[in-house]
Each structure stands twice: as structure tokens, then as C-alpha cells.
Amino acid sequence: MKKNLTALTTCVLAAAVGWPVTAEAQAQNQTLRVRLNADIRSTDPGVNRDFNSDGIVLHMVEGLVSLREDTSVGPLLASRVDTSPDGKTYTFTLRQGVKFHNGATMTAEDVVWTWKRYLDPATNWRCLPEFDGRGAVKVTSIEAPNPSTVVFRLESPSALFLGSMARMDCGGAGILHRSSLGADGKWAAPVGTGPFKLGEWKRGQYLELLRFDGYTPRTDASSGYTGAKKAEVERVRFVIVPDAAAAKAALLSNNLDLIPEASSSDLQELRARQDLKVEISGTMGLNGLLFQTRDPLLKDARIRRAIALSLDTEEIARTVSEGLSKRNNSAIPSSSPFHSQVQAAGHKQDLAEARRLLTAAGYSGQPIKLIATKRYNSLFDAAVLVQAMAQGAGIKIDIEVLDWATQLDRYSKGDYQLMSFSYSPRLDPALSYEMLMGPKDKQPRKVWDNPEAQARLAVATDSADRNERQAIFDDLHRRMLEEVPIVVFYNGADVAAMRRNVTGYKAWPASLPRLWNVRLQ
């Protein structure tokens, strides 16, 4: 009785003082507080999404295949995938007894229903072009010969089919139960098979995921989105904190448990704190300097090469990433299995040669505009370094700072001379090159317009022969170093900062946060 009274009094006093931190400390074993830098768009996989939305959704839904830790593709809801010899038929054998959030068991019928919905133009699924023939693949039929088998037939073989299925920006083609839709046929909430289900979503403030107690895990070791996943905490609260400095302050004062993408400039400070720890991983995004090869001044390859030669890309990579990333002058990310010795070759700084080329090209100090944005510090910092280094070769660069929307607009129109830009991750080298290459008349955003190279790329996209593909990629890399439509600096690195009592969280090249297998001690 007395103990209760004391406890009650303490609680009342604490509440009266209004100290949310204490109250939250009591609930800490149940709730993991993770930072989200902006509210998500929707919970519909691959429909009206952005990076943050993908991260949340992929906790709740699972696809037939998904990404392993090394970003290769592995089975998730499928227990095995068989390909026909002609590469046009894929047979997925489903795992048995997998439960949806509403208790129903997943069958082939659910898979077919989900895919029919994805491939329906009315759904507005982001990856529809990848599967309806506009992109690499055309799916001609999807059938369920029995409750545990699904068969996809393609018009022609492609190396990218499974990879596209696993794409994070398409919700991993997560399999849904039809009760995800309301009675009116509109999207309600995701009823998937993932280790978490949707909790409370207070728009603009936070979103909560709750542990799904009926989750059916795989038996193999956890790897990426595949393998054994277990929701160790009862609840994950994604708190929306747009401002990076405020997020850091919150982490330091124990108002947040985890920041999946902390600012690399804070690394030293975060490492020094006893109550925090840090996880680092290279990512598959690409940061670089884009050239407009149709610009009157920059169409001369000598000037482009001169600019490339004036830069010490090792220094840029190291400084901008705070020592976390090394130079990578290839379009293929360093962590990709296709990043060969050839790919490792790149630009070397040579101011004398740069000057020689400039004189030969008749450059007489005309100012060149370099577009950057403050929205992403790395882009801005890189621009500042480029300007300073180019000056060493007598190249005059003016930085023009735009807001992100305007910069993206200029990028998509090709309306710039130089641009400090960053590409979102591409998980297959063919896609990495495809994002850079294309006919500028039809696709003004592409930086590299070389029909011969494009033809080679098309071969690599369709082929399943690894050696053939590697040879083509190596060839493309050599050409890229010659023609300099872009100078790639590095692939980013993620710094995940968390309180010391958070265990099990790993950062990985695909960047998206994964809160399963994560515990609060």
C-alpha cells in the first residue's frame, strides 16, 4: 500500500514536472525511437513513394525475392526459384505456412492477386515500366498451377528480371493480402507478411510499427532483407525530425535511440561520446561532377579532360565523406561484385597536363558555372573543393547554389555546364551505366550520348553471361575515362549513430534502415 502510494506520488510529481524523458525511459524497453528526416508519402508499396516510404514499407511487406546483405538477389517468400533454360520462364516455389498480419496464410493466389494489381496501370506502380515491355522485361503471364507455386512467363530473357522484382523503390514487389484495400477498392493499410505491422501514424509527427507476433521467419541466417528476421522490440517509433542538427541534439540528450543516416561531419564528435556508438557502411549511391557535353565551351573534350586532371579525386572523396569513402571513378559502386581491377583505374591529378590541354583548346579564363545545392552537404562541399582545385590549373569556376527542386529541374533538362550531383543507388551495373547514358535528344538528362557505347550496354543488359557482361562494363569504363562526360568521385557512406544500449543494428550498402533483430538492452 505504502509502496503504491510512493510510486503514485512519484509518478504524479514526475508528470507535474512534465519530464517526458523519464516517462519514456520507463517505456524504453518497449519502444525504439528512430529518426525519420521527413514524413513518408504513403504505405502502399511502390506507389506514391520516396526513400523514407520504402524503408518503412519494407518492414511490413515481403516479396518473392529480395536483397541479400551484399545486394545480390535471394529468395524471401519463395523457397526456391527455377529458371527455364531459355530464360523465359521463372517458377517460384512458395514457403509453406507464411502468415499475413491478419492471420490468413499466404498462397499462390495472393501472389497472383498482388501482381495483377501491380501490373494494372490504374495502380500507378512505379516499376510497371520495368515489367510491361517498356523497360527490360515484358511479363506475358502469371499463373498459379497449385497453391504453392507461381509461374512467370517473359517475352524474352533478361538479367534484370529478379533484380527488378527486388527493387526497394518498388516496395520489393511485396505480397499483399486483398484486405489491404478498403471496400471501395482504394488503398487502406498494408496487410503483408513482414515482421512488423502498421501502428499509429500521426502525420508530420511520427509513425509507429508494431511487432507482428505471428511472423513466420526463414531459417537461414539473416542477410539483407532475406534470412531470419525477428522483431525484438515491441514497437518502433519513427519520429519525424527534418532538421539534422535537431536530430543530433535529440540523440545526444536521449530523446532518440537511433539516427540511421547521421551527418558524416559529426563522426568525430559521435565517436568520442561514451554513451553513443556508430555503424558505418559504404552505399551504392554515386556522387560526381556532371558535364554538359553539348555546352559550347565544354563540348571540347580537352577542356573536360583538363578539368578532370585538375582535381585530386582521392582528396575530394576523403574530405567530403570525412574519411569514410575512398575514391571511385567508376560508374559501378565499389561494393558491387562487378567492380573489377579495370574499374578501379581512374583519374590522376596532373596540373601541368591540364594547363597544356587548356592552352591547346584555347581556354582563356572564361567562367564556368557549377550548380550545387545546400540541401545535401556532400554535394555542396564537393563543389567548393572542385572550384578550389580547378583554380590551380587556371580554370575559373563560379558556384551557383540552387534549391533542390530547381537543381533537379535543371538536371532533367540538361540545362547546366557543370553540376555537383548524386545518383540514388542502382543495384545492377547495367542500370548504373543506363542512368548515365542515353540519346540526349530524347533524354536530355543523360550525360553521356554515345550510340556505339549504348549498343554495347544493350547487349550487357540482356545477357546472363557474367563474363560477357564484365568485359562490356570494363570497356565502357575505359571509354568513360576517355570522354569524361562525368567525373565520379565516390560512393557514399552511411553513418548510423545510436545509443549504446541499441544492439543488432547494422548499416548496409542498400542504405534503408532495418529494425528487426535490433534490441534495446
Q: Kindly list the residues in this chain that would bind another protein in the complex (CB under 8 A).
A: 15-16, 18-21, 23, 39-42, 48, 50, 124, 126, 129, 169, 203-205, 239, 241-250, 252-253, 255-256, 263, 265-266, 269, 315, 319, 374-375, 380-381, 384-385, 387-388, 399-406, 408-412, 421, 423-424, 435, 443-445
- Give the whole-angstrom CA distance, residue 471 versus residue 340: 10
Residue 399 phi, psi dihedral angles, 5° rounding: -90, 130
- Cell of residue 185, nine digits: 477498392
Q: Which amino acid is at 412?
A: S
Nearest partner of 64 among 203, 175, 177, 181, judged by Cα: 175
> Considering only CA atoms, which of 65, 79, 147 is closest in space to residue 112?
147
Coarse DSSP helix, strand, coil percentages of the chain, rounded to the nearest 5 percent = 35, 25, 45
Give the start-end residues of each E strand in 311-427. 368-373, 397-402, 418-423
Cβ atoms of 175 and 62 closer than 8 Å: yes
- Cell numbers at residue 77, please? 517468400
Q: Is 493 helix (H, G, I), strand (E, B) or coil?
A: strand
CA distance 307 to 297: 12
Residue 508: all three cell numbers together: 548496409
* Residue 96 C-beta: closest distance to another protein, Å: 36
- For the CB of residue 19, give the shortest distance to another protein in the complex, in Å: 8
For 242, other C-beta atoms within 10 Å of its C-beta total 12
Q: Position 490: which residue type?
A: Y
The three-state DSSP-derived secondary structure of 162-179 is HHHHHCHHHHHHCCCCHH
Element at 404 (helix H, strand E): helix 404-413
Pairing of strands 397-402, 368-373: parallel
User: Nearer to another protein by C-beta: 410 or 519?
Assistant: 410
Residues 128, 121: Cα–Cα separation, whole Å: 7
φ and ψ of 245, to 5 deg? -65, -40
C-alpha cell at 57: 514499407
AA identity, residue 150: V
Strand partners, 181: 187
* 94: phi then psi, degrees, rounded to nearest 5: -85, 150
Q: Given the complex with another protein, which of 159 and 170 has the nearer CB atom? A: 170
Residue 372's contacts (CB-CB under 8 Å, 6 or more residues apart) are 379, 380, 382, 383, 384, 399, 400, 401, 402, 407, 419, 420
Contact yes or no for 265/492 (Cβ under 8 A): no
- Closest to 500 measured CA to CA, from 254, 157, 316, 292: 254
Read off the C-alpha cell for 311. Answer: 582535381
- Which residues are registered as beta bridge partners of 286? 423
- Dist CA 206 CA 359 (whole Å): 58
Instruction: Give the separation between CA 246 and CA 509, rounded to whole angstroms.
Output: 26
